Chain A
Amino acid sequence: MQLIEHHPILQYQHGKKVKFIFDGQEMEGFEGEPIAAALHANGVRILSYTEKYKRPRGFFCAIGKCSSCFVVVNGIPNVRSCITPLEEGMVIETQRGHGTFHKEVQDGEH
């Protein structure tokens, strides 16, 4: 992971290390930290492709206000990855277009 190792002012307190899947690939991140931060630390900068022109999108504001960071999390599209905490075993996918609900999510408890 691309983490800052030494800082003159800050001491980082990371949460528990957990594994998650991004587009079929296993990655590591810290529990409770935003999904977008975990992905960036793993070198992932493209989070979605736009509907019409298929332009790549990354995050922009990182405080939940611009919707530039949508990904699909456990089948649920349009999740703001910059303010959604990472959990063990999450299955995250690049979002393409406006996103559709999988059948099982619609019928499930969500």
Chain B
Amino acid sequence: MKAILEEEQRLVVEVAERMAGNGLQNAQRLLSGAPWPEYPDHDLMANWQGLAIGEADGGSGGRLVDLALLIRTLSIRLTPCRYIDHVIALQAAFGAGLPIDFKVADEGQWCLAVAEPRTPPFGPFACRLSNNRIDGTKTGVPFGNRAEIAIIALEDNRIALAKPSESILSDSADPLAEYACLTFNGSAAEHVSDNANGGLLRATVLIAAELCGVAQGAVDNGSAYAKERAQFGQPIGSYQGVAHQLAEAQVATETAWSLTLYACWAIDSGNSDAQKAVHAAKAKASEAAVFSSERALQVHGGIGMTWESTPHLYLKRAITRAAVLGGTHWHRQQLGSALLSKISSVS
């Protein structure tokens, strides 16, 4: 047992911090109409898309924890990048055992298409596969509008790689992200695996890592303001009504991060409680991100309600990502059931 970051992992964080550097400024610029910034997407796509995929499978090696660290660090500053959703799609493919052609991955955006209206987050899904052709519709697909390739979850725990027939950009509560509705009309399934669950677990834990970053970023943002803003002749952070909210958010954030780190490790090492660990991580990370960003907004007072301010960007990222691949409520229920079945199998 040695649950501390290793040398390479500290390096990943350092590099990610450098890439995240101007994240918030880029985000604000994007909001005022600037085009998508090339940096750091360009570097991330060039150097980091093979992370946490074994060299034998064409990746560049490293552990799932490394990728979680990278994604968390980028998300602390809300760094606008499409890399996160791209790499999550790759990871879903890898986790499901689909072969990945990195030459194809180099060329354009991939997306992970899972959600269907009124369907539980991990299925059973209505999207069908017959004669190697895919039919159905997926909603809320991150950057699905830009993707050439979709990793699509299908009926009977299958998952495939295919090209969508059509994509329609949805409205997005998060102004820094794009979501689309994808239709598949007899699209050819290029590869199929019957372990969708394995892919969804990897993807979900990475969304949890992102939410941990969002939560931490929100707490940091709220704390910075609480030090700076004074009322009644003192920094508002000196009032416990303010300080305790932020401290609570920090505790929630740390809770989620512990669970996320463990879930990454459990998946990587094929541990039998990986599934349970992912449910715990996603439940708590969604909760922490929404709670922390609500608190950050609250401690800003009136200015937090303005479009030009920062807290709402965290809040909007939190509330949308909390809904991707299952919300708090659903993951808690899965975790509760897992606990019960563990107890009944013991007794």
Do the two shown chains form a genuine complex with each other?
A: no
Residues on A facing B (Cβ under 8 Å): none
Residues on B facing A (Cβ under 8 Å): none
